[in-house]
Structure 1
Amino acid sequence: MSRRIGLMGIGSAIVALVSGCSGAQVLDHLVPHDTYHGPTGVSYGPDPRHLLDVYQPQPATDTVPGHAPVVLFLYGGNWTSGERAMYRFVGEALAANGIIAVVADYRLSPQVHYDGFLGDCALALQWTLSHAAGLGGNPERVMVMGHSAGAYNAAMLALDPRWLAPLDLTPNRLAGWIGLAGPYDFLPIVDPEVQLAFGWPHTPANSQPIFHAKAKAPRTLLLAARNDTVVDAQRNTVGLANRLRTGGTEVEMRIFDHIGHVTTVAALARPLGWLAPILPTAVAFVRGESLPQT
């Protein structure tokens, strides 16, 4: 019991930091560097923020070359902050499980509003789809995944065809999508930063993922913390899951106790996997396997 308490204390300290640069540096020291390879700082568009890093599994994997699943990861940060380097722990965790991970930057508010960062994420997905085979992955097994604001971005790419249409793509190109602690139904907007990003009070209803959950969508995995004090899981995660199921979408949902908003993504880091089974659940979903019991 004392060892467990000690581990929880260490983990809590790391998790308290993970939303800032110092937290990312702590995780960077804990996460291996020898489980993956791949290019960094790859341009996927014309803006200086249009850069991504690729995490390809090392050859010692049970995945047949050319058949590996591919996941584009979009980070959170209230649509006002975030850097792809802070999420090396996500790329490493996926690569260590035989999944090719792409972690992308995108423009943020106030430089752009929601149509701008959604357009950027669509460009990053186009790059991922077109380069999947060259990276050793299967273009038919590409998914998009995000946490918090990034989960909103992922949801909109998967549910609202407007963002992929200019690129001659549709959501059915996705093998699925994963949302971690995402805001999918947040009108009216009270946060001043989010108000700016979404042009409140002139924010259209179709800016919300739940608006687009009427038709069948790609396979969906929604993960959240029951006691999330940033994004209400009942309204957003449970509400979206119910609406998607009504529309005929295959949805898996897990609501976890004993974690919070930040911990939902921090638990993807393999050293913090004891916090909650976020990583094995996501990996099983990507692989098309049965999800672990909680």
Structure 2
Amino acid sequence: MRWSALGLAIAAIVYLGNVMWFSPVDFLNGLAAFANNRAATDVPYGTGPRNQLDIYRPRGGAERLPVAVMFYGGTWKEGDRATYRFVGAALAKRGIVTVIPDYRVYPEVRFPDFLRDAAEAVRWTRDHAADYGGDPTKIVLIGHSAGAHIAAMLALDPQWLVNVGLNGRRDIRGMVGLAGPYDFLPLTDPKLKDIFGPADQRARTQPINFVDGKAAPIFVAAGTDDTTVDPGNTTRLARKIESRGGQVAAVLYPGVDHRTLIGTFSPLLRSRAPALDDTVRFIQDVTQALPPSSGKSFKRAPATTNAE
């Protein structure tokens, strides 16, 4: 019997899973290890222990490739870039140089310090993308869950990238938000209240409040079965961007929950929703088009059912 590389990978993971405990993400990252796309790990972009990132580079030595900076979720309280190796490997396999940074989280920091870290990571990417085959003029931000909030804030509120010498409407080609919280007031959780500060200042923490129709193109997606972040965050943000004349594509994937959505970037769950295909298509569209200052928009929305 002849086995494909994918078949061998799955067999090895299943076998090991029978003899030792694995978390669900271990299974997803087990396949990513076979891809061997990590070009660099533990690269500092700042001075703190959580100001480090990993870079995933497509094989083949191509240059001037699109670049994604991916911010993971964790309720702004936790997370580890190594957990998302399967995301970096999936995007690199599709020809996208991918940077996954850690950033400081609660209780070490509160809003907006994690945005400052994220902006510094984008600045580092702009400065160093070419070292890994990426085109520094073709950067797209991606985020899942709390990471989608971070990506959206960088894309919609100009101040965070301006603080690191970047212009989001010139230097960012687009933003992808997966299962993101963009319009989540009022808060009831005590820790979230502490993270986002006094009630009279929380409006400045909401991405939806910074929509003016001038940001780079945005693709937002969520699963209809998400009980962690209300999918209404996705539809409300899309409607607001559209009402202001901005460029937006949105989709809700039937039967997909919060964690499964990002999990579909792995071959093990890819049949559940075409989130990877839609994300890659969006990145290709916005990076193949002329820069935002040219007035040319991305060509097409994801080939899935649009959110209502």
Using the size of structure 2 for normalisation, the TM-score is 0.84
Distance 1:254 1:217 in 2: 19
Aligned residue among 172, 182, 185 for 2:183: 185
**Corresponding residue for 1:292?**
303
SS in 2 for 1:94: helix
Residues 145-164 of structure 1 aligned to structure 2 (within 5 Å): 145-164=142-161
Q: Name the SS of the counterpart of 1:39 in structure 2.
A: strand
Q: Which amino acid aligns with 1:292?
A: A
Q: Deviations over 1:109-153 (max 9, x none)?
A: 111011110000000011111111221111121011000000000
- Runs (4+) of structure 1 exceeding 6 A deviation are none
8 Å contact kept, 1:241–1:251: yes
Using the TM superposition, name which of 283-292 and 81-90 deviates more: 283-292
Matching of residue 74 in structure 1 with residue 71 in structure 2: yes
The 8 Å contact of residues 146 and 179 in structure 1, kept in 2 or not, is answered as yes
SS in 2 for 1:53: strand
- Contact kept in structure 1, 2:38 and 2:54, CA below 8 Å: no
Quickly say closer, same or farther: Cα 1:35–1:48, change in 2 above 3 A.
Answer: closer
Alignment of 1:53-68 (within 5 A): 53-59=54-60, 65-68=62-65
Partner of 2:220: 222
Q: Contact 1:42–1:53 (CA<8 Å) still a contact in 2?
A: yes
Residue of structure 1 equivalent to 2:90: 93
Verify the 8 A CA contact 1:44 1:52 in the aligned structure 2: yes
One-letter amino acid of the counterpart of residue 104, structure 2? R
Task: Trace 1:213-252 onto structure 2 (pairs within 5 A).
Answer: 213-234=211-232, 236-252=233-249
| CA–CA separation in structure 2 for the residues paired with 1:114 and 1:270 | 35
CA distance in 2: counterparts of 1:47 and 1:112, whole angstroms: 12
> Alpha-carbon deviation of 1:54?
0.3
Partner of 2:40, secondary structure, is coil
Please list the CA deviations of residues 143-197 of structure 1 after superposition, one character each: whole Å capped at 9, or x if unmatched. Answer: 1100000000000000001111121112111010000010001111112221121
Counterpart-to-counterpart distance in 2, 1:271 and 1:27: 7
Corresponding position of 1:130:
127
After TM superposition, give the deviation of residue 275 of structure 1 in Å.
Answer: 1.0
Give yes or no for contact 2:260–2:269 (8 Å, CA) kept in 1.
no
Q: 1:67 Cα deviation (Å)? A: 2.2
Using the size of structure 1 for normalisation, the TM-score is: 0.88
How much is the aligned-residue C-alpha RMSD, in angstroms? 1.8
Higher mean C-alpha deviation, range 183-192 or range 41-50:
183-192
Q: Kindly indicate whether the alpha-carbon contact (under 8 Å) linking 1:216 and 1:244 is maintained by their aligned counterparts in 2.
A: no
1:106 corresponds to 2:92: no
* Secondary structure in structure 2 of the residue aligned to 1:168: coil
Residue 286 of structure 1: CA displacement? Answer: 0.6
Q: Which residue of 1 aligns with 2:202?
A: 204
Equivalent in the alignment of 2:23: 22
Percent identity between the two aligned chains: 41
The answer to whether the aligner puts 1:267 opposite 2:278 as a matched pair is no
Which residue of structure 2 lines up, in the alignment, with residue 47 of structure 1? 48
Paired amino acid for 1:220: I
Any stretches of 5+ residues in structure 1 without a counterpart?
Answer: 1-9, 15-20
- Separation in 1, partners of 2:24, 2:113: 28
- Give the count of matched residue pairs: 271
3-state SS of paired residue (1:108): coil
Question: In structure 2, how many angstroms separate the alpha carbons of the residues matched to 1:136 and 1:81?
Answer: 30
Distance 1:126 1:266 in 2: 28
Q: Following the alignment from structure 2 to structure 1, what is the Cα–Cα distance between the partners of residues 35 and 26?
A: 17
Measured after TM superposition, the shift of residue 35 of structure 1 is 4.7
Q: Does the 8 Å contact 1:31/1:89 carry over to 2? A: yes
Determine helix, strand or coil for the equivalent of 2:250. strand
Which structure 2 residue ranges, 5 or more long, are not aligned? 1-9, 15-21, 286-298
